[in-house]
Structure 1
Amino acid sequence: MTRHQHIRRNTTRAIFMAIIILQDLVPFFGNIPLGPLSITTLHVTVILAAIILGPGEGAIIGGVWGALTWVRAFVAPTSPLAPLVFTNPLVAILPRVLIGLVAGYLFRLVLRYRHSERVAAILAATAGTLTNTGLVLGLIYLFYRTPAVAQAYGVDVSHLLPALMAIVATNGLAELALAVIMVPLVVIPVREVQRRLE
C-alpha cells in the first residue's frame, strides 16, 4: 500500500467513525421514528464500511457503534431498556462488530464466484442486518428473560419471546429493506471511484 493509499484509507475510516458518532448522537439521524417503529440506520454505515474498506475496518466501525451504545447505556440511556441490557458488552458491542465481519467477508466471497457487485452488496446488506437484529434480540432473550426486561417491552416474561419475534417482523424487516436499498446505491459508485483511483 502506497503512502497516498494509506492516507486515503485512514481518512475514509475517520469519516465513517464521524458518521457513526453523528448518527448515534443526533436524533432522527441514526434512529428514524415511523409510527410505532424506530428504524436504526447505523447498521447501514457499518455494512458500507465493511464493503468499501474491508471486513476488519467494518468490524472497527461496528465496534465504535457498539462502544457508544454501551457507554450511553450507563450515562445517557436512550430507552428504559438500554440500562437493563446494553450495559452488557456482549449485547451492546459484539453484534455490531460481527456486522462488519459478516458483511465484509460475504461481499468478497460472492464477488469471488463472479456475481455482480449489486448481488454481492444486497447479500452483504441482508446478512449484516440479520446479524445485528438476530444477535441483539437473541442475546437479550438468552441473558435477560427477567420481569424488568419483559416489562420494558410491555409484556410478562412468558410473552417475551413473541414480543422479540414481533420486533424482528417489524423493525427488523424495515431495517433490512433500508439496507438492501441503500447499500447497493452507495457501494457501486464508490467502488467505481476506488478502481479509478487505484
Structure 2
Amino acid sequence: MKRRQQIQRSTIRSILIAIIILQDFVPFLGNIPVGPLSITTMHVTVIIAAIVVGPVDGAIIGGAWGILTWVRAFVAPSSPLAPLVMVNPLVSVVPRIMIGLVAGYLYRWLARLSKQPRLAMILAGIAGSLTNTGLVLGAIALFYRTPAVARAYGVNVDHLLPALETIMATNGLAELVFAAIVVPLVAYPVLEVRRRLG
C-alpha cells in the first residue's frame, strides 16, 4: 500500500513539474508580460501541488519553477527585468520554494483547525501568492536599488521603492485574487479523487 502511494505521489509530482515547464515555455500561459513586468499564473500550480501532495513536494515543484526562471533569465528572459534581477537565485529560486512550504503547511494547519478544506485552500492560495510577490519584490528592493533596475521600471532610484509598492498593490493583487479563486476549484476535486482511490 505504501509503495502504491509513493508511486502515485511521484507521478503527481512529475505531472505538476511538466505543467510548470509547459507554463514557463508557452507564451501567455504562465507569464503574461505587461510592460516591464510579468504577471505570473505559475504560483497557482505550486500552491495546488503543496496542497495535493504536501509542502515538501510543493517546495520541490516551486524549486523547479525557480530554476527555470533562473535559467531563462540568462537565455530567454520573460521580461526586461529578468536579466537584471532573476539571475540571482535569492530572487528567482528561493521565493518559489517558499511558496510550497508556506501554502502547504498553512493548508494542513487550517484544514485541521477549521474542518473547512475549501476555506483552508483559499487562505493557503492567498498566503502562497503573497509569499511569492513579497519575497521577490522584497529581494529586489534589498539587492537591486540600482539605476538599471529603476530605469527598467521607468523611475529613478529614489522612486524604486514606491514603484515596487505599486506593483505589490496591482500585480500582486491580481495574482492573489487569481490564486484564491483557482486553487480551491482545482485542488478540492483532485484531493477528493485521491481520497476515493485510497
TM-score normalized by structure 2?
A: 0.96
- Once the two structures are TM-superposed, the CA of residue 81 in structure 1 deviates from its matched residue by 1.0
Match of 1:127 in 2: 127
Gaps of at least 5 residues in structure 2 are: none
Give the distance between the partners of 2:137 and 2:64, measured in 1 at CA.
Answer: 20
Residue type of the partner of 2:99? I
SS of the counterpart of 1:178? helix
Residue type of the partner of 2:182? M
Whether the 8 Å CA contact 2:29–2:41 is kept in 1: the answer is yes
Whether the 8 Å CA contact 1:46–1:61 is kept in 2: the answer is yes
Match of 1:160 in 2: 160
Whether the 8 Å CA contact 1:37–1:170 is kept in 2: the answer is no
Once the two structures are superposed, the pairs formed by residues 95-114 of structure 1 within 5 Å of their partners are: 95-114=95-114
Residue type of the partner of 2:29? F
Match of 2:48 in 1: 48
Task: Tell which deviates more after alignment, 155-164 or 29-38.
Answer: 29-38
Whether the 8 Å CA contact 2:37–2:79 is kept in 1: the answer is no
Give the distance between the partners of 2:166 and 2:111, measured in 1 at CA.
Answer: 34
Residue type of the partner of 1:54? G
Once the two structures are superposed, the pairs formed by residues 62-101 of structure 1 within 5 Å of their partners are: 62-101=62-101
- Once the two structures are TM-superposed, the CA of residue 32 in structure 1 deviates from its matched residue by 3.1
Give the distance between the partners of 1:20 and 1:76, measured in 2 at CA.
Answer: 16
Match of 1:143 in 2: 143
Q: Can you list the C-alpha shifts for 1:52-108, whole angstroms capped at 9, x where unaligned?
A: 000000000000000000011111122221111111100000000000000000000
Match of 1:26 in 2: 26
Give the distance between the partners of 1:77 and 1:41, measured in 2 at CA.
Answer: 16
Match of 1:116 in 2: 116
Q: Can you list the C-alpha shifts for 1:123-163, whole angstroms capped at 9, x where unaligned?
A: 10010000000000000000000000000000000000111
Residue type of the partner of 2:11? T
Please tell me the root mean square deviation across aligned C-alpha atoms, in Å: 1.5
Gaps of at least 5 residues in structure 1 are: none
Residue type of the partner of 1:165? E
Whether the 8 Å CA contact 1:43–1:128 is kept in 2: the answer is yes
Q: Can you list the C-alpha shifts for 1:12-34, whole angstroms capped at 9, x where unaligned?
A: 11100000000001001102357
- Once the two structures are TM-superposed, the CA of residue 111 in structure 1 deviates from its matched residue by 1.2
Give the distance between the partners of 2:36 and 2:96, measured in 1 at CA.
Answer: 24
Size of the alignment, in residue pairs?
A: 198
- Once the two structures are TM-superposed, the CA of residue 39 in structure 1 deviates from its matched residue by 2.6
Once the two structures are superposed, the pairs formed by residues 182-197 of structure 1 within 5 Å of their partners are: 182-197=182-197
How much identity, in percent, do the aligned residues show?
70
SS of the counterpart of 1:32? strand
- Once the two structures are TM-superposed, the CA of residue 190 in structure 1 deviates from its matched residue by 1.1
SS of the counterpart of 1:113? helix
